[in-house]
């Protein structure tokens, strides 16, 4: 099981306000699929409009990155810049 | 509307063009003569990107009509270097990175040269006020001011 | 400034930029500088109303005018899908973008495009614009962010329901989205605080103010191919948006990046490009469109204005224990203010256990905001840095000391969740404390302010190609529009990696047919991400060069090393061979397998977060309210300065823009929602005589994920100035200003209030 921290309301609207959720996954692809199954809409939202940070590195297009029980995973809004 | 036939001198060479009476010198230079080094930033004389010399006077070419150049001399950025040899200001701007996007640069260089032609030892304040009509949004002006003053120092030493 | 370690030959030096001579001689071709045979001039019909229904558009008189070759309205645009597409700062909806390019049923701001024409001359195009008759039904409008949130405010989109709240609202409103970030327990945090400061702040929308107006030339061929030449921060972005809006295959669109005359985020979207393509295909001729300065102010940019409440608590020994912020940010006519990054960056410079930030993305009848340098961060960090100053004053602690005490460092968990790696916040504060500037005494009516700032920096897609030419010179191709000297840094990184003379490397920003997808030039990503691609491509070329040497020497490739621009035997066991230079190997290329090159196509990860700390001295004229910036120092952790002059230039330019934001720049509307200051005379950006020299101190704490340690530098320097200036004005006057800009009338009014 991996622990996923949802820091913004964009994500927690799908979890009834829950900010920490756990799912079974070995990589981001599995994690997003599992989140979608558990909280319909959340996986789609992540794919469309959010980044995932794993152990301090923000990934705008995460997919195959490995995650473990020790990983610190945060779901964030996408960041661009001027 | 009948076009006017204008004979003038641009960067030391005789030039002729046809222009509408309402066309600005900026539009004429860019569209009729093909000298696009002079830039348009505002068309209202506020930004200085279109600075050129007209009979030895620094002007915003967006505030001058094309017909007004009749019989006069026009100097633009394209005429600043002497063949392959850059003007000392151009060279110093490159060495000191006094440009980022480069869009205001032609106007700044024309204006700076006009200053150094009349004052070879300007203070920082004099340079800042002389160039106050040339907007630059990239550099914060620091390197532009330094490059102008360093060029002046070099030219005095030469 | 830190001098470079000796190990680099080019990185850290002040080379002449490859595009420099073109730019000081007027040769460089910007957006409006291209002329094609038979080219028409395109112009736009804009809404005179802030909010109105379009009842009808009659183009017949314009079409009948001699010299008019095409007229278009929204009916000529395909219906766009509501698909999210990556823009400069966030995802945007193609349907919203389509309406912003040309209004379909309703206009949502003054200056919105409703039709466009192409004619043989500008003059005829202007006359055609005047002949287009649009019938409007004017609707009530709303400009201000807090007014737009009221229950009785005119609603812009009747299908927009606030996202991010539960339960989903049943009534449409102007609040597009709510975001929230929390860390720890702020109630417990404030309970533990000895001092709590809570203040409200407002900022006005400000324009990026690039000196080059938006410009494009489009040429649509009868076979469906489209060539676009334009000034933008990403020609691939232009291709994506034009393809999506006009439903054209990307393979049919070629976009060439003209030189770009400034962008600062404002050229990360499209306005004219789809219109020029439509006009070109309708007329069968190339079309040039160029915005006037007035159009730039009315219909492009700016960044959000905002209202916010910032509350911070600290213990009496100066430990910040709780932070709370509420941000209301203007998005313009469609959703998409940078409220997410504003909320995430607000307290990021500090190591605090208990944080809560709530942000609202609010639409109103003004043009859609677009990215502006560190989108959102200057706004939220302005309020926070003012309150940090107030805390310092209340606690009797030096403001830099308070920042040092609470600075984020490696291992600190940011409020937005991420734990920082190696970062330089502590070092920027220490360097600021150590300056002579910080210790210099001040005179009457003078004040000194400090502030810090944080930006993430980003990576993203970039590609690079290295070709070794027959004579050993190097051609470098990439696709990130060069907005301020990036060709130089790319060539320097390639020269350093390959071990050749920088002046033998020629970098080119190539068109969309000639390289792979690049994300926009923005987010301070190019030197980081495209630089990473360049180094990777160069290393691939080096591997090929080693393989060629191995063939020539008849040894295994493992027996060949690359050192100082030469293939050399790895050890004496390999054999006794003279080193071969790039030119030697290039000369033999045909015999060893053909041309030599290296390529890399990457999605760069691991951008390095960056921090800056600025010191500002001002003098306030108590009679006129004029603020003179006397002295300014900008300190920043840049990771590694590839070209120090252009890095310093980023700090200086960002500081100048931030000073303008603090002191003068604002959008002023009349009661009908019409912009009153759409020109450089009344929208006053800093001019040369407004500013002092801007001293820079570059701290280099390398980003471990980049081969040379690059973090990205362009965004951070616009963040601290707003509060640094505000804190300096507060110190000079003894009055805290809670609204930007602190223009002379605002200062005089507040000083009179104080008496």
Place of tokens 């003053």: B149
- The CATH number of whichever domain residue C540 belongs to comes to 3.30.365.10
Residues in C closer than 8 angstroms to B129, CB to CB, are 688-689
H-helix segments, C145-233 = 145-148, 186-191
How many A-C residue pairs are in contact by the CB < 8 A criterion?
127
Q: Which domain holds residue C75?
A: 34-139+212-261+267-299
Q: What is the model's pTM?
A: 0.97
**CB-count exposure of residue C626 (10 Å: 0-12, 13-18, 19+):** middle
| Alpha carbons A47 and A31: distance in angstroms, whole number | 11
Rg (CA), chain A: 11
Across the interface, do C344 and A82 touch by the CB < 8 Å criterion?
no
pLDDT, average across residues C410-419:
88
Contact C164 A10 (CB under 8 A): yes
Asked if C touches A (at least 3 Cβ pairs < 8 angstroms), the answer reads yes
Give the structural domain span for A57.
Answer: 2-77
| Residue B110 belongs to domain with CATH number | 1.10.150.120
Cβ within 8 Å, pair A48-C607: no
Task: Indicate if C320 and C436 belong to the same structural domain.
Answer: yes
The ipTM (two decimal places) reads: 0.98
Question: Would you say residue A11 lies in a domain?
Answer: yes
Where do we find the tokens 């039904």? C137
Cis amide leading into C728 (omega within 30): no
- Residue of C179, C372, C456 with shortest CB distance to A9: C179
C89·A82 Cβ contact <8 A: yes
Q: Which residue has the tokens 């090929």?
A: C544
Q: Are C190 and C200 in contact (CB under 8 A)?
A: no
**Is C409 at the interface with chain A, CB within 8 A?**
no
Is C676 found in the same domain as C651? yes
Smallest CA–CA distance, residue A2 to chain C, in Å, is 16
Number of domains in chain A: 1
Among B22, B30, B109, beta carbon nearest to C24: B109
User: Is the same domain home to C434 and C513?
Assistant: no
Structural domain includes residue A16:
yes
Domain count, chain B: 2
Question: What is the structure's pLDDT at C86?
Answer: 66
pLDDT in tens, C166-204: 788 999 999 999 988 888 999 999 999 999 999 999 999
Of A9, A49, A58, nearest to C180 by CB-CB distance is A9
Task: Classify residue C85 as exposed, middle or buried by CB count within 10 Å of its CB (0-12, 13-18, 19+).
Answer: middle
- Residues from chain C that touch A12, judged by Cβ atoms under 8 A, are 164, 180
C206 is a domain residue: no
Q: Return the percentage of chain C with pLDDT > 90, whole number.
A: 94
β-pairing verdict for B73-75 and B4-10 = parallel
- C250 and C116 in a single domain? The answer is yes
CB contact under 8 A, C694 and B128: no
Structural domain harbouring B122: 88-157
Give the residue from chain A lying closest to C525, CA to CA. Answer: A81
Tell me the CB-side half-sphere exposure of residue C528, using CA atoms within 13 A.
33
CA distance C128 to chain B (A): 17
What confidence category does residue C2 fall into, taking pLDDT thresholds of 50, 70 and 90? very low
| pLDDT exceeds 60 at position C738 | yes
What is the CATH number for A30? 3.10.20.30
Q: Are residues C661 and C740 in the same domain?
A: yes
Q: In angstroms, what separates the C-alpha of A20 from chain C's closest C-alpha? A: 11
- The mean pLDDT value of chain C amounts to 96
Q: What are the DSSP calls for C350-383, one per residue? A: B--S-EEEEEEEEE-SSPPP---SSTTHHHHHHH
- Best probe of the B interface among C13, C18, C23, by most B CBs < 10 A, is C23
Decide if pLDDT at C403 tops 70: yes
Q: Is C419 on the interface with A (CB under 8 A)?
A: yes
pLDDT digits (tens, 9 = 90+) for C231-259: 999 999 999 999 999 999 999 999 999 99
pLDDT tens, position by position, C85-98: 765 555 678 999 99
pLDDT for position A27: 96
What value does the mean pLDDT take over residues B145-158?
A: 95
Shared domain for C105 and C235, answered yes or no, is yes
Of C25, C485, C680, which is closest to B90 when you measure between CB atoms? C25
Helix (H, G, I), strand (E, B) or coil at A79: coil
């Amino acid at each position: 099981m991996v622990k996923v921290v949802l820091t913004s309301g964009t994500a927690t609207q799908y979890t009834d306000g829950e900010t920490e959720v756990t799912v079974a996954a070995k990589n981001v692809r599995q994690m997003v699929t599992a989140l979608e199954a558990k909280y319909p809409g959340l996986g789609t939202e992540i794919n469309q409009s959010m980044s995932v940070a794993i152990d301090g590195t923000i990934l705008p297009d995460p997919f195959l990155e490995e995650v473990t029980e020790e990983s610190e995973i945060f779901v964030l809004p996408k960041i661009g810049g001027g | 509307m009948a076009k006017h036939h204008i004979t003038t001198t641009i960067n030391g060479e005789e030039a002729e063009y046809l222009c509408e009476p309402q066309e600005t010198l900026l539009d004429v230079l860019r569209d009729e003569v093909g000298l696009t080094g002079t830039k348009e930033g505002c068309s209202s004389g506020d930004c200085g990107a279109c600075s050129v010399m007209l009979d030895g006077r620094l002007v915003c070419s967006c505030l001058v009509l094309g017909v007004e150049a009749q019989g006069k001399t026009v100097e633009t950025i394209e005429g600043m270097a002497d063949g392959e040899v850059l003007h000392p200001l151009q060279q110093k701007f490159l060495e000191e990175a006094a440009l980022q996007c480069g869009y205001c640069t032609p106007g700044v260089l024309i204006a700076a040269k006009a200053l150094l032609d009349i004052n070879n030892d300007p203070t920082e304040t004099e340079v800042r006020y002389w160039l106050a009509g040339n907007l630059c949004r990239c550099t914060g002006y620091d390197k532009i001011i330094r490059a102008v003053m360093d060029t002046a120092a070099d030219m005095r030493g030469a | 400034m830190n001098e470079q370690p000796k190990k680099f030959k080019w990185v850290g030096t002040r080379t002449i930029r490859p595009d420099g001579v073109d730019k000081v001689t007027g040769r460089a071709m910007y957006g409006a500088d291209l002329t094609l045979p038979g080219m028409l001039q395109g112009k736009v019909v804009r809404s005179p109303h802030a909010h109105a229904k379009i009842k009808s558009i009659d183009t017949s008189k314009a079409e009948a005018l001699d010299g008019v070759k095409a007229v278009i309205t929204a009916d000529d645009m395909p219906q766009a899908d509501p698909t999210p597409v990556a823009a400069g700062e966030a995802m945007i909806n193609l349907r919203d973008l389509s309406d912003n390019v040309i209004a379909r049923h309703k206009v949502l701001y003054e200056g919105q495009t409703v039709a466009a024409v192409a004619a043989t001359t500008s003059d005829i195009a202007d006359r055609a614009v005047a002949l287009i008759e649009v019938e409007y039904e004017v609707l009530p409008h709303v400009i201000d962010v807090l007014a737009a949130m009221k229950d009785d405010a005119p609603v812009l989109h009747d299908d927009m329901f606030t996202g991010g709240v539960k339960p989903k609202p049943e009534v449409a409103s102007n609040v597009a989205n709510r975001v929230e970030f929390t860390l720890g327990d702020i109630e417990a945090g404030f309970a533990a605080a000895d001092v709590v400061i809570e203040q409200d702040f407002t900022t006005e929308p400000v324009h990026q103010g690039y000196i080059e107006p938006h410009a494009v030339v489009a040429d649509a061929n009868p076979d469906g191919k489209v060539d676009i030449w334009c000034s933008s921060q990403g020609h691939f972005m232009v291709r994506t948006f034009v393809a999506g809006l006009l439903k054209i295959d990307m393979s049919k669109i070629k976009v060439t990046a003209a030189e770009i005359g400034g962008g600062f985020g404002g050229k990360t979207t499209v306005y004219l490009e789809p219109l020029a393509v439509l006009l070109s295909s309708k007329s069968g001729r190339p079309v040039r469109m160029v915005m006037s300065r007035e159009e730039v102010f009315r219909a492009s940019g700016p960044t959000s204005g905002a209202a916010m409440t910032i509350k911070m608590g600290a213990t009496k020994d100066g430990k910040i224990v709780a932070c709370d912020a509420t941000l209301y940010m203007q998005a313009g006519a469609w959703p998409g203010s940078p409220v997410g990054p504003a909320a995430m960056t607000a307290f990021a410079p500090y190591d605090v256990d208990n944080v809560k930030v709530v942000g609202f993305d609010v639409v109103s009848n003004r043009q859609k905001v677009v990215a502006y340098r560190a989108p959102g961060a200057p706004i939220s960090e302005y309020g926070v840095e003012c309150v940090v100053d107030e805390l310092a004053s209340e606690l009797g602690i030096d403001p830099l000391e308070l920042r040092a005490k609470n600075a984020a460092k490696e291992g600190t968990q940011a409020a937005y969740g991420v734990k920082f790696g190696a970062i330089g916040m502590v070092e920027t504060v220490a360097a600021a404390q150590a300056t002579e500037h910080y210790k210099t005494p001040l005179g009457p009516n003078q004040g000194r302010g400090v502030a810090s700032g944080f930006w993430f920096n980003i990576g993203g897609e970039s590609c690079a190609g290295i070709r070794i030419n027959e004579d050993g010179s190097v051609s470098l191709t990439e696709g990130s529009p060069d907005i301020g000297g990036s060709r130089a840094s790319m060539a320097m990184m390639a020269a350093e990696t390959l071990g050749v003379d920088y002046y033998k490397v020629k970098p080119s920003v190539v068109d969309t047919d000639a390289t792979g997808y690049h994300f926009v030039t923005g987010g301070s990503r190019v030197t980081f991400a495209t630089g990473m691609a360049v180094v990777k491509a160069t290393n691939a070329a080096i591997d090929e060069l080693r393989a060629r040497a191995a063939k020539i020497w008849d040894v295994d490739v493992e027996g060949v090393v690359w050192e100082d621009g030469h293939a050399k035997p790895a050890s004496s066991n390999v054999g006794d061979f003279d080193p071969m230079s790039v030119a030697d190997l290039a000369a033999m290329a045909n015999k060893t397998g053909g041309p030599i090159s290296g390529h890399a196509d990457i999605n760069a990860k691991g951008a390095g977060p960056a921090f800056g700390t600025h010191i500002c001295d001002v003098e306030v004229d108590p009679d006129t309210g004029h603020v003179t910036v006397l002295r300014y120092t900008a300190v920043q952790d840049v990771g590694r300065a590839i070209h120090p002059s252009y890095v310093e230039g980023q700090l200086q330019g960002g500081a100048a823009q931030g000073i303008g934001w603090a002191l003068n720049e604002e959008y002023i509307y009349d009661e009908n929602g019409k912009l009153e200051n759409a020109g450089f005379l009344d929208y006053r950006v800093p001019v040369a005589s407004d500013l002092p020299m801007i001293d820079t101190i570059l701290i280099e704490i390398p980003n471990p994920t980049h081969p040379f340690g690059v973090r990205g530098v362009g965004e951070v320097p616009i963040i601290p100035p707003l509060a640094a200036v505000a804190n300096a004005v507060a110190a000079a006057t003894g009055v805290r200003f809670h609204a930007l800009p602190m223009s002379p009338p605002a200062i005089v009014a507040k000083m009179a209030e104080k008496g």
